[in-house]
Amino acid sequence: MGDLGENRKRNKVMLKGNFRKNGFELWRHSFTAYSKRSGDQKTFFIEFYVLNPAVSPDEISFENNQTIAKKEGKPSFLMVKAGYWGPNGKQFHAFLPISKMQYNKHKLNIRADNFLLTESELFGSIEVLPTEMKLHPEYLTDSGVMKWKIKMDKKIAFLPKNLKLVPPSFWYVQGAKTMYGGAIILDGEEYAVVPQKSYGHADKFWGRDFPDPFVWLSSCNLISIISGSYLPSSCFDLSGTFYDEKRNSFNVFFCQQNQSYSFSSKNSKIKCNYSENDEFCHWQVTAENKKNLLDVDIFSRKRDMIPMKYMNPRGTITFDEFLSGGNGSGEIRLYKKVNKTLEIMEHARVENCACEFASSSSR
């Protein structure tokens, strides 16, 4: 299990050099909350996205925006993204100029207008009117109102030995298992975020562009099929890009009741298969090294997913297809290699699984 204090500096604002005019930082948080009215659960996400901070620090800049005095043909802004997965899922975007962003140089502490992001707090609100959504298609947003006041406690960290997913992007997971608590108000309905049932996750991506094609799977709601018990100190997290077996670039992490197992494309054999039909998306990932084999098999209903939308540092939409969800389910198996046989160490059911697939036909 990763040290929560180890390399925490990677979680702070740190774009430097050429990255300031050609780069991004993306902090992501996701968790489950429960309607105070009906008790129904909903999986929410809140993100902070910094794009090309030195291009247009005093004004929000989109590609081909002729109102920007400093024309470099690139976008530049802080975007706060909030929303939820599930049927009729939505994403709300608020944009601010980089100059509005105040941050600590030594640790994660970002403040901008009514938004706050630290290692232990999330606070803010977004309102997008239908007229604003139609007037500004470049905002890539839905209409609605979401407010949040959240505390978080990061329990399990994953610091990949090789942070680089694939040139030129990096991944760092400060909270592979994170307990969130607080409240969300979505379009007037209040949701309670209960720490023991939040099944939360916190990570960070940064670099010059997103990996493509791209896969991400993560869950800390695991129930052992062997014992029938919930596994409170277990989680898994994997992310990477795949072309074929020789060019895969993956990091895979499984914490099984405080015992950690990690695999990377540099020291392990990792296979990924993704498929979809009209109803389902399906991920199959197998990671194998000299001592262990990990098998992950996840399904998600398409109706529970949304087409996640970002602009990349070049000023174009990141992917032709970007399906994102937080309600995947399936199974995970961990084996120990004993001579030429496999000995099962854990076989668990996976619920509340965050799952993504993204690709561009142009690449």
Q: What is the pLDDT of residues 212-242, one digit of tens each?
A: 888 999 999 999 999 999 999 999 999 988 7
pLDDT at position 70 is: 46
Residues 86 and 76: their CA atoms lie apart, in Å, by 30
Is the predicted pLDDT of residue 362 greater than 70, yes or no?
A: no
Please give the average per-residue pLDDT across 332-356, as a whole number. Answer: 97
- What confidence category does residue 65 fall into, taking pLDDT thresholds of 50, 70 and 90? very low
Is the predicted pLDDT of residue 360 greater than 90, yes or no?
A: no
pLDDT at position 69 is: 44
Encode burial over 115-154: b for 16+ CB neighbours within 10 A, e otherwise: bbbbbeebbbbbebeeeebeeeeebbbbebebbbbbebbb
339: left (phi over 0), alpha (psi -120 to 50) or beta: left
pLDDT at position 215 is: 94
What is the per-residue pLDDT across 87-138, written as a single tens digit (0 to 9) for each?
999 999 999 999 999 999 989 999 999 999 999 999 999 999 999 999 999 9
Residues 312 and 23: their CA atoms lie apart, in Å, by 8
pLDDT at position 363 is: 44
pLDDT at position 318 is: 82
Structure tokens that stand for 104 in this block: 């600590």
Closest listed residue to residue 355, CA positions, set 320, 279, 317, 304: 304
Is the predicted pLDDT of residue 166 greater than 80, yes or no?
A: no
Residue pair 83/90 in contact by the 8 Å Cβ criterion:
yes
Residue 168: cis peptide before it, omega within 30 degrees of 0: yes
Is the predicted pLDDT of residue 319 greater than 90, yes or no?
A: no
Residues 291 and 335: their CA atoms lie apart, in Å, by 9
Structure tokens that stand for 247 in this block: 């060019």
- What confidence category does residue 3 fall into, taking pLDDT thresholds of 50, 70 and 90? low
pLDDT at position 68 is: 39
Decide which of 326 and 246 is more confident: 326
User: Helices in the chain by DSSP H: which ranges?
Assistant: 130-135
Domain range summary for the chain, segments of one domain joined by +: 8-359
Encode burial over 225-245: b for 16+ CB neighbours within 10 A, e otherwise: eeeeeebeebbbbbbbbbeee
pLDDT at position 28 is: 98
Other CB atoms within a 10 A radius of the CB of residue 346 amount to: 22
Instruction: Give the least confident one: 9-23, 284-298, 328-342.
Output: 9-23
pLDDT at position 246 is: 61
DSSP 3-state of 58: coil
Over pLDDT 90: what percentage of the chain? 75
pLDDT at position 211 is: 83
Please give the average per-residue pLDDT across 7-33, as a whole number. Answer: 89
Residues 253 and 238: their CA atoms lie apart, in Å, by 6
Decide which of 224 and 167 is more confident: 224
Output the average pLDDT for the chain: 90
Please give the average per-residue pLDDT across 317-345, as a whole number. Answer: 95
3-state SS string over 178-212?
EEEEEEEEECCEEEEECHHHCCEEEEEEEECCCCC
Residues 328 and 274: their CA atoms lie apart, in Å, by 14
pLDDT at position 265 is: 85
Provide the CA 222 distance to its chain's centre, in angstroms. 19
Q: How many C-alpha atoms does 335 have within 13 Å on its Cβ side?
A: 16
Closest listed residue to residue 15, CA positions, set 56, 48, 50, 46: 50
Residue pair 287/269 in contact by the 8 Å Cβ criterion:
yes
